[in-house]
Amino acid sequence: SQKIEQNSEALNIQEGKTATLTCNYTNYSPAYLQWYRQDPGRGPVFLLLIRENEKEKRKERLKVTFDTTLKQSLFHITASQPADSATYLCALDKDGGATNKLIFGTGTLLAVQP
């Protein structure tokens, strides 16, 4: 069956450390993968996209990697701050680039302690 899995347990880290979140998928062949941030009671906010032919993407303190062999994406936040505390969702295109329709993981809650 098709699955997208993210760390189900909350990730607690100290301010200033690097947070690493994992997204694994099975039985999909996505053309790209996206990461979103969601705060309580709000809609997700788009952060980064990485395509199947890209190994790594960076934006300010954020870095995403994409390994299509392992079927895994890693999302890193360097020099983390309490304001980074939120749920982070990975999403991939279900139809291999044909429709831009996204399927989301369950999300990982990140808590950055001051």
Partner 1 sequence: DTGVSQNPRHKITKRGQNVTFRCDPISEHNRLYWYRQTLGQGPEFLTYFQNEAQLEKSRLLSDRFSAERPKGSFSTLEIQRTEQGDSAMYLCASSLGDRGEGYTFGSGTRLTVV
Residues that bind partner 1 (CB under 8 A): 4, 31-32, 34, 36, 41-46, 49, 51, 89, 91, 93-94, 97, 99-107
* SS3 assignment, position 57: strand
Phi-psi region of 100 (alpha: psi -120 to 50; beta: other; left: phi over 0): left
Min separation Cβ 86 and partner 1, Å: 14
Residue 42 CB contacts under 8 Å (≥ 6 apart), including other chains: none
Min separation Cβ 114 and partner 1, Å: 25
* DSSP assignment of 14-45: ETTSPEEEEEEEES---SEEEEEEE-TTS--E
Min separation Cβ 10 and partner 1, Å: 11
